[in-house]
Structure 1
Amino acid sequence: MKIGIGVDTGGTYTDAVAYDFDSASVLACAKALTTRDDLSLGISRALDALPERYLKEASMASLSTTLATNACVEGKGRRAKLLFIGVGKDTLDRVGSGYGDMSAEELFFCDDMGTFDGTVVASPDWEALLSDAGEWLRDADSLGVVEMFAVKNGGACEKAAKEFFSSRRGIPVVCGSELFSGLDSVQRGSGTLLNAKLVPIIDEFLAAIEKSFRDRGVNAPVVVVRSDGSLMSESFSRLRPVETILCGPAASVLGGMKLASRPNAVIVDMGGTTTDISLVRAGVPVKVTEGISIGAWRTFVKGVFIDTFGLGGDSAVRVRNGRLSVETGRVLPISLLAKNEPSVLEKLRDLLKTKSPHTQPIHEFFCLLKDITSASNYSEEEKRFCAALKNGPLDIREAAAQSGTDIYHLKTSRLETEGVIIRSGLTPTDIMHIRGDFSGYDSEAARLTAMFVMRCLELDETSEDELTRFCESVYDAVKKKLYCNIVRVLLQDTYPELRREPPDAQLSRLIERGWEAAGRDEKPYFSFNFLTSAALVGIGAPIHIFLPDVAKALGTECVIPENAGVANAVGAIVGNISVTTEVEIHPNHTPGGIRGYTVHTPEGNFVSEQRSDAEKIALEAASSEAVKEARRRGLSGEISVTAALKAARGTTGSIDYIDLGSIAEATAIGAFSL
């Protein structure tokens, strides 16, 4: 029996499975709360719930995580900087906002000494550049470097910059050309900066895994799921954490496919922080071709098509403008906080005694995740605030008093964004406690908090019937959000032109009307329906509560497979390694026609007089690079390589087409040796 251990660390839960490769079955599974202040604690608790002999006998361990996904969706990440070589600030000012959350403080610009054809005239003066950028780099945890013409010259200046800054500053440095081969330098920059922001997050995750495995005698080689569902080695993922931005969702696709066995499916994975929607058509996951977009970020990362949005068991339930709102941000369920901090319950009781509503969420608490009181890159006010939280959670009014301000001027956004503190408040998880759908935490705290929110909505908090209706309205809001997003994804898949911009107000309202109409029994004078023949496959702990009604509204079946709660961990262990690389061939156009061909390889540029010779060089280079990349990702066994040419043509007003060259594409596939 060949055993693999799959581990998935999400924003709320950490799952672990023991998987038998010979019988393709789950031997055991476990779930534990993710412990954000020390990830190894939650990972260890999940592993300890598996039979010890499976851990000792494991021949492979595979990991997935939504930590990077959640960081993108919630706009979080560590401090990173990006050096742009050859891309001007005016270009970023003009188009940068469409590519990601790149602030001016994170960017530094210097002139490029190269040309579009791949010629490198000279390198920048690195010593002078360091002198100019020294203060800018002072608080950086990592650095990304992107050169405008790197795709054409093999990233010559990027590699020189990496060598220089790594040795002089002692921080991780990643080149854009190591990550992406797309021509758009701004999009390369967006993905490279995101990669730099994620390096410390993935390092922390892998260090926690290493500790948990070491303490339990797990000696199996460790691999990590990439965003396309394939695998890479642990060491490779440390350098390219951007490859993991959808590794958790990708694992959920693989796990959902394996567990549900439906050829056509909409896989809906609801976690604590986000919900991921993916599509399976004729047994094959739908993939993105132009690079993953997630949160505010547009990247060149290739992967399984995943649409990720903020909705989960830990979504904040608040009052906005007098109306109930299930928001995209994650908060700690108040029932969980009260279980661990008994003083919270007494404060909630006191809050209910006031008999007064409030326009601000004064029922919410702040909790400390990381101690930054001795850090130099935070303000004294921020450090004082965190020092006060060392003694336990503070409600918003207490937090404001400790900071010497009021609740309207309390500034905590940076601390929340950087994962130093987290809020705790009312969530769908708390509503589950009130309704009896879940009972792991403190139900009284959930009930008291719900009553205060009801008061702010001008509902009768003393009425049990009113409380029941309030809980139903929260559930309905979650279902409606699920329905609207599934319909949006299916519309964009059916009509790709809708992907260019989000649905306008009229279409959004029409989708909402579709949900409202689906809940009515009477037949109206005129109606419409959004329907699908694809099964809705639900995975993730809370999905069984919400998805059946959504499937009914869409006229299809709902499948909640066995082990659905740990599908991500199952998906993590069933993948393989797949690498696709491209090498471009460009014809050298002159007034007298084409005079030779330039092949742009990772090792440099080659010029050939004959197209056939250029194509041969390109195919060999692409195949060689695919194999090298597969080895870098950790593959040591047999590798299968396929290669093909793709022509690129453009049209003009005077002739039928113009030869723009071609692309040699090679794919290397292999499985880890067990």
Structure 2
Amino acid sequence: MLKCDGSVIGIKSALEKPIESIFSGPAGSLVGASFLTGNDSCAVIDVGGTSTDISVIKDGVPEMSEMGAVVGGWKTRVKAIKMETSAMGGDSHIWVKDGKLNVGPRRVIPLCRAADLYPDFLELLKINPMPTKTLIGMNFQPTTFFTRTEYEAMGLNDLEQELLDSISSSPTSLRELRSRMGRYPSTRILDSLIQKRLVQCIGFTSTDALHVLGDYTACNVEAAEVGAEYLGSLCKRTGEEFAKYVKETFAKNMASDLISFFLEGIPGEEIRKIFDIDCPTKFKVDIPVVLIGGPVVAYKDILGSIIDAEIIVPEYSDVGNATGALAAKGVRRVDFLIRPASMAAPDWEYYVFSEKGRQSFYEYKDAIKYARETGQSMVMQYMEDAGLDPDHVEIDVKKDEIVPEGWDFPMETKIRIMGVGTRLIDEEA
């Protein structure tokens, strides 16, 4: 199994600490991208259905977040890969208001997919009327439909129940809802039902845009074309022009997220503005940029025109996550902090702090020896628990000292023991 820091974990350890498996998906894509391209150092743009994740691996080891994994704003203190996530995926809702294109944050069923799922959907889409200008918003688009899910409804108020009863298991248009309810539904109540997963939205997505442009045609192209014409008319573009605009917007958003990852403290929105300026300069990225997930090959050339970087789309890029689970290494970091027990007599006794607690030593050399030996022992125990071959484990020891002027021994010593273990992968697997 994979941990959220991109390393493997044994079943026993996973059962003891299941929290460490969060974000294992993005971690798997990062490790998988490195393996598929043969690059020990690279940046990875992982495009999923709901979000796009940016991460980096250096010298075969994922770059870690100092804050640990953050879930829903909660700091878990679990070591995890450093990751920049945006609510922009292949199924993110594309909608137009006041002539402006908006991306997400909601995930919807793409029009091209809905036409395959529901036999009558294409005809419903073709005759769907354009909402009035005052109504147009995220929920009110000429390409928006709603379906009822199979989740059981509980604790709904009367207005929520009325709207839910008006939505069938097949695509239901806003016009149909108005006919059944005698009025248009409330956006607030629609949002509530969608958030409760009782209703699923159908709408235009970047996947539809790629269908229009012929970059990806796994589903119904005509439905995507109809949707592009509808939304294009709202921003004075043809269907094809609108699809190109969506694709370009996605590529620029990817680029701004990537540069924001490297330039900490500078919001991606600010960097994004630079890409809309006609300027002969480019951001340069010195390590390869690997695209993972679905039809990402469609963005390779346009992304390369926005930033100066080697853009790579590996074979089997759509299964980077699964590849990462197979190719993952065992990475174990153990940190030790050594300080004098008393600043008044700094060479009398030393404390060693680690995840094993505090240990006391009268000799500085004994404290150092303990840190090294204990750290290496913990690394090897981890590798054994993860089922990795001890003969394929490399251990690196890094020591940083702070020695004030006039002191014979350091005021503070930090020692990091890091082990990296590899496991053999069956080439036929």
TM class by shorter-chain length? Answer: 0.7 to 0.9
CA distance in 1, matches of 2:408, 2:107: 52
Q: Which structure exhibits the higher relative contact order, with contacts defined as CA atoms closer than 8 Å and separated by 6 or more residues? A: 2
| Cα offsets for 1:193-247 (capped at 9, x unmatched) | xxxxxxxxxxxxxxxxxxxxxxxxxxxxxxx222333212355445545434443
Distance 1:437 1:673, change over 3 A: closer
**Of 210, 217, 223, the match for 1:445:** 223
Structure 1 match to 2:243? 471
Structure 1 residue identity aligned to 2:273? R
> CA distance change for structure 1 residues 446 and 239 in 2, over 3 Å: closer, same or farther?
farther
Distance 1:285 1:367, change over 3 A: farther
Q: Which residue of 1 aligns with 2:352?
A: 599
CA deviation vs aligned residue, 1:498-524 (integer Å, no higher than 9, x gap): 41342674x5433432xx44xxxxxxx
**Distance (Å, rounded) in 1 between the aligned partners of 2:179 and 2:10:** 49
Cα contact 1:622–1:664 (8 A) shared by 2: no
Look up the match of 1:290. Answer: 66
CA distance in 1 between counterparts of 2:30 and 2:410 reads 39
TM-score, normalised via structure 1 length: 0.53
Displacement of 1:400: 8.4
Instruction: Tell me what 1:589 maps to.
Output: 342
Matched, 1:411 2:162: no
User: What is aligned with 1:522?
Assistant: none
CA contact (8 A) 1:434 1:447 kept: yes
Give the AA of the match of 2:249.
A
Partner of residue 267, structure 2: 502
Structure 1 distance, partners of 2:28, 2:336, is 29
1:543 is matched with 296
Write the deviation string for residues 355-399 of structure 1: whole angstroms up to 9, x where unpaired: 8454223242334555133x5xx4455677667657444445766
| SS in structure 2 at match of 1:473 | helix
AA of the residue aligned to 1:351: N
Displacement of 1:419 in angstroms is: 5.0
Counterpart among 323, 328, 333 of residue 580 in structure 1: 333
TM-superposed deviation, 1:287: 1.3
Inter-partner Cα distance in structure 1 for 2:191 and 2:379: 43
Q: Distance in 2 between matches of 1:615 and 1:390?
A: 69
**How far apart are residue 471 of structure 1 and its match?**
1.8
User: Does structure 1 conserve the Cα–Cα contact (< 8 Å) formed by 2:213 and 2:244?
Assistant: no
Classify 1:538/1:586 alpha carbon distance in 2 versus 1 (closer, same or farther; 3 Å): same
- Report the equivalent of 2:205: 427
The equivalent residue for 1:186 is: none
Query: CA deviation digits over 1:435-490, x for unaligned, max 9?
Result: 33333323333233333323433x37xxxxx222222222221222223333434x
CA–CA distance in 1 between the matches of 2:26 and 2:285?
22
In structure 2, C-alpha distance between the alignment counterparts of 1:429 and 1:641, rounded to whole Å:
43
Write the distance in 2 (CA, Å) between the matches of 1:587 and 1:644.
21
CA distance in 2, matches of 1:276, 1:297: 19
Instruction: Indicate the SS of the match to 1:500.
Output: coil
Show the counterpart of 1:665. 416
- Quote the Cα distance in structure 2 between the aligned partners of 1:587 and 1:415: 60
Of 261, 268, 276 in structure 2, the residue corresponding to residue 512 of structure 1 is: 276
Equivalent residue pairs, number: 418
Q: Is 2:318 the partner of 1:565?
A: yes
Mapped contact 2:65–2:81 kept (Cα < 8 A): no
TM-score between both structures, scaled by the size of structure 2 = 0.78
CA shift at 1:650, angstroms?
8.7
The 3 A distance-change label for structure 1 pair 579 and 266 is closer
The answer to whether the 8 Å contact 2:330/2:388 transfers is no
Displacement of 1:637 after TM fit? 5.0
The SS at the match of 2:93 is strand
Q: Which runs of 5+ in 2 are unaligned?
A: none
Q: 1:528 corresponds to which letter in structure 2?
A: T
Structure 2 vs 1, CA of residues 570 and 329 (structure 1 numbering), >3 Å: closer, same or farther?
same
Q: Secondary structure at the match of 1:345?
A: helix
Identity %: 22
Q: Quote how far apart the aligned CAs of 1:325 are.
A: 2.1
CA deviation string 1:68-110 (max 9, x = no partner): xxxxxxxxxxxxxxxxxxxxxxxxxxxxxxxxxxxxxxxxxxx
1:512 to 1:637, Cα distance in 2 relative to 1, 3 A: same
Q: Quote how far apart the aligned CAs of 1:342 are.
A: 3.2
Q: Structure 2: how far apart are the matches of 1:316 and 1:254?
A: 29
Contact 2:147/2:200, CA 8 A, preserved across alignment: yes
Give the alignment of 1:118-133 within 5 angstroms.
Answer: none
Segments of 5+ residues of structure 1 without an aligned counterpart are 1-223, 461-465, 493-497, 518-526
Alpha-carbon offset, residue 549 of structure 1: 2.1
Structure 1 position 333, deviation (Å):
0.8
Q: CA, structure 1 residues 600+387, in 2 after alignment: closer, same or farther (shift >3 Å)?
A: farther
Q: How does 1:76-475 map to 2 (within 5 A)?
A: 224-234=1-11, 236-237=13-14, 240-261=17-38, 265-279=42-56, 284=60, 287-288=63-64, 290-292=66-68, 296=73, 300-352=77-129, 356-357=132-133, 358-360=135-137, 361-362=139-140, 363-369=143-149, 371-373=151-153, 378-380=155-157, 391-395=169-173, 407-413=185-191, 416-417=194-195, 421-457=199-235, 459=236, 466-475=238-247
Q: 1:539 to 1:592 in 2, by over 3 A?
A: closer
Q: Does 1:480 align with 2:252?
A: yes
Moved more, 321-330 or 288-297: 288-297
Cα distance in 2 between the residues matched to 1:542 and 1:564: 9
**CA distance in 2: counterparts of 1:503 and 1:655, whole angstroms:** 47
Q: Distance in 1 between matches of 2:132 and 2:194?
A: 28
- Distance in 2 (CA, whole Å) between partners of 1:622 and 1:557 is 38
The CA RMSD measured in Å over matched residues stands at 4.0
String of CA shifts for 1:559-598, please: whole Å, max 9, x gaps. Answer: 3333233233223211232222234434322555565333
Q: Is the 8 A contact 2:216 2:295 kept in 1?
A: no
In structure 2, do the counterparts of structure 1 residues 365 and 235 end up closer, same or farther at CA, with 3 Å as the change threshold? farther
Amino acid paired to 2:264: R
Match of 2:218, as an amino acid? G
- Alignment partners' CA distance in 2, 1:649 and 1:541: 49
Residue type of the alignment partner of 2:66: E
How far did 1:323 drift? 0.8
Partner amino acid, structure 2, of 1:366? F
- Say whether the 8 Å CA contact 1:487–1:511 is kept in structure 2: no
1:612 aligned counterpart, secondary structure: helix
Q: Quick one: structure 1 residues 536 and 407, their matched pair in 2 at CA, closer, same or farther if it must change by over 3 Å?
A: same
Out of 638, 641, 647, the residue aligned to residue 390 of structure 2 is 638
User: Larger deviation: 228-237 or 541-550?
Assistant: 228-237
